[in-house]
Every structure is written in C-alpha cells, then in structure tokens.
C-alpha cells in the first residue's frame, strides 16, 4: 500500500480587504479614539450663541463709547463757559456796559456790527487794555468768523468795505456780542486799583502826578456837572493833605476805595 505523504496544511492567510483591515476587522475599529489627534479635536464655535464677542465688534463699541464721552465733555465745557460769560456780563454796571458799547460803535468804522483786527485792538485800548498782537490774534481765532461768511449773508446786513482795514489769508471778524463778552471778562478781572488809576489819568491828562483845580474844572464841564468854582476849590483843599495844590495818585486811590 502506497504510503501517502501528508502535506502540512497550507497556512491560513489572514483576510485582508480595504485599507488597513486585517482579519475582517477595521483598523479604525481596532484603534482606540485618540483625543490628541488634531482631526478628532472638537471645533469651538465662537460665532454662535454664547460665544465670545468678536474683536472688531468690541473695538467699534469702544470707539463709540469714547466718541460719546468726548462729546459729553465738550458739551459740559461749552455750558460752563457760557454760564461764566453770562455771570461776567451780569456783573457789569450799566455805566461799564455803556462804555463798552460806545467803544465798539466808535471803532466799528464800516458800521456792519463786526470789527476786524485793528478795530478790535484800538477799541480794547480805549477801554484801557493794550493787548499784544498775539493775544488779539488769539481772540479772533477763538471767537471770530471769516469775513467770507458775511459777504453772502442776509440782505439786511450791510456789505463789507471794498478795502478792509485788515486783510490776510483768512480775515477774521469779531461780532458785537463777543466783543461785549471779552471786554466784560477783562473788566471783571481788572484790579480795582488799576481802574482807579485809569480814572486818575482821565483827570491828570498832562501827567503832572496830581489833580489840580483846572483838571476838576475841565472834567466837570465835560460831564455837564454844574459845580461852582467854590465847590471845586473846596474839594481840592479837603483832599490835598500834603498842601501841594492838588490831589496825588495815592490820595485819589484812598478817596475812591473809601
């Protein structure tokens, strides 16, 4: 009997199919879930409900808040300045108000209710304020308006002169209302002693350093005061403590301050 040679069984070959599948099991099934794999990391939604506000939106809100705060501060400063100006005007005496209005009318050469650089300078000087050029220019830059804005104004406004007294790249004009406010601020801030000394100079026009009988006579005549010669002489004698024939500066200040 022939002996049959038994061959060893052919090794079974594992079943492979598809990508990485071995023995009928998927590699994805055999591999545990890896939370460190970027593909498996959850995507965080920042645009949906409950997400953080986006950068541009936050910046826009901040800018809007800053703008509103600036407007609030500017409005408060404007209201404070207007209240201060009203208070200064209220403190003007009727005589001072008339003096300021007279100075404006006298130097408003073209009678358009506005004054330019030179007119403003001489009007303030007439009130006792000899301001430097830089300060005059600062007033015009703060309160003035360009002359070009008036040239085409309402029909009831008089035209500007053909040859203005001051011209430049931007000719600025100051209104009567602003002149009144500016003059009132300087009068209100003036030292009473300076005011008295300015009045003294109106009497002592020759700069003698004292007010004599002739000075009193002239001022009384200009003001229309019907004072007799004896009354004027009595005034000099009463206040001429040094016997110099007149009233000196310090004596005059003492009389006015009481």
The pLDDT assigned to 236 comes to 87
The pLDDT assigned to 9 comes to 53
- Name beta bridge partners: 247: 211
Return d(Cα 257, Cα 61) in angstroms, integer: 60
The pLDDT assigned to 1 comes to 46
For the chain, give the longest Cα–Cα distance.
184
Those residues of the chain that have pLDDT short of 50 are: 1-6, 10, 12, 14-31, 33, 35, 37, 39, 41, 43, 45-53, 153-169
Which is it for the CA torsion 123, 183, 138, 142, positive or negative? negative
The full set of domains in the chain, from first to last, is: 89-153+168-188 (1.10.238.10), 192-257 (1.10.238.10)
């Amino acid at each position: 009997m022939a002996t049959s040679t038994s061959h060893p069984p052919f090794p079974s070959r594992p079943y492979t199919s598809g990508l990485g599948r071995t023995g009928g099991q998927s590699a994805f099934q055999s591999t545990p879930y890896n939370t460190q794999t970027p593909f498996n990391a959850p995507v965080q939604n920042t645009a949906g409900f409950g997400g953080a506000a986006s950068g541009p939106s936050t910046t826009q809100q901040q800018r809007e808040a800053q703008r509103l705060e600036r407007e609030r501060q500017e409005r408060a400063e404007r209201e404070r300045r207007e209240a201060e100006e009203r208070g200064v005007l209220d403190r003007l005496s009727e005589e001072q108000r008339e003096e300021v209005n007279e100075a404006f009318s006298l130097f408003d050469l073209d009678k358009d209710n506005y004054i330019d650089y030179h007119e403003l300078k001489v009007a303030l000087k007439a009130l006792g304020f000899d301001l430097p050029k830089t300060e005059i220019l600062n007033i015009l830059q703060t309160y003035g308006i360009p002359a070009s804005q008036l040239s085409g104004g309402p029909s009831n406004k008089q035209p500007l002169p053909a040859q203005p007294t001051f011209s430049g790249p931007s000719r600025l004009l100051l209104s009567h209302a602003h002149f009144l406010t500016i003059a009132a601020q300087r009068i209100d801030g003036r030292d009473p002693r300076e005011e008295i000394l300015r009045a003294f100079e109106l009497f002592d026009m020759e700069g003698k350093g004292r007010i004599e009988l002739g000075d009193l006579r002239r001022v009384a005549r200009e003001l229309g005061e019907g004072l007799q010669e004896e009354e004027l002489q009595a005034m000099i004698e009463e206040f001429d403590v040094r016997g110099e024939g007149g009233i000196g500066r310090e004596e005059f200040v003492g009389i006015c301050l009481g």
